[in-house]
Structure 1
């Protein structure tokens, strides 16, 4: 198993690498298109703004290799902004196109009194508890969130987990083939997060 973590200047790289290492796997952190060679699994972490992150992926020539990797249905895990970038566009950065792997828009929580960003622990409810990705997690595991925006997929069948934050129900995870992407941070989610990473790698 060869696990790669994409470095585009906006990811929570050290925490993600540490989480993977704790599972007995030494990941490769890479920042150029040739870094995909020889990998079996790719993780796209994310901390930062949609537009800046997309600009960096494009500048480093990583955008098209990511699309090709996903199109080939190779194991891929997008985290937080690394989840949001899979969609067409985001309200955070008007005029910036995302990777466009999935149709949909990344929207901001409504400004109607709730605290933004959504920060802290919250439950994620699986739409299909039999999915092996959720093995050992129970019906409503808690994960750690830090975000003001969330994707709204046009294709509702992609939604693998849902979370509610002060009256807003959003897609906290999506699944298609060997792709998994989450709005929460598994690397900051202690036992549940490590179990999810382990399930993905297995």
Structure 2
């Protein structure tokens, strides 16, 4: 699955980014605004998609002066499916966090980093996960790590890449300005925060 555009798994056409913009927008938008935000397709191409979505009822169009404003029709029977498709990346992180809640001992730190966290990878990108364990737990979670990797492959088609370090080494990496630490702090998705919020 392409975590940059996870909806492309089911909606590989320009309809996907157009629906994503409308799903995230809290206000009506013109076709030109939608094209600019989506950064995909041409203005005429987006206009054709919008015409089709208006015909299907998923999108409403209202003329205001010389402009046509488009909005998501969240009352449409198919809109819950659109919301599900648009939230695939967040759903993946929720599932990983739920799996981590079952681990004993619990990780001290668990973070998705790299392209999956930045949402700029491709369909073949690994899902990179940092796991920090206590200093007295040199080889924890071998079975759990394998099982989670298998689940991630089933959920997405992507491979999971785990980076496991102990707490002392992680602190040393902080002090050394390790690029991995910088990547985690800049882009990382804190899975334990998701687990605590659940």
Q: What is the TM-score of this pair, normalised by structure 2?
A: 0.26
Greater fraction strand: 1
Q: What is the TM-score of this pair, normalised by structure 1?
A: 0.26
The higher relative CO (CA closer than 8 Å, separation ≥ 6) is in 2
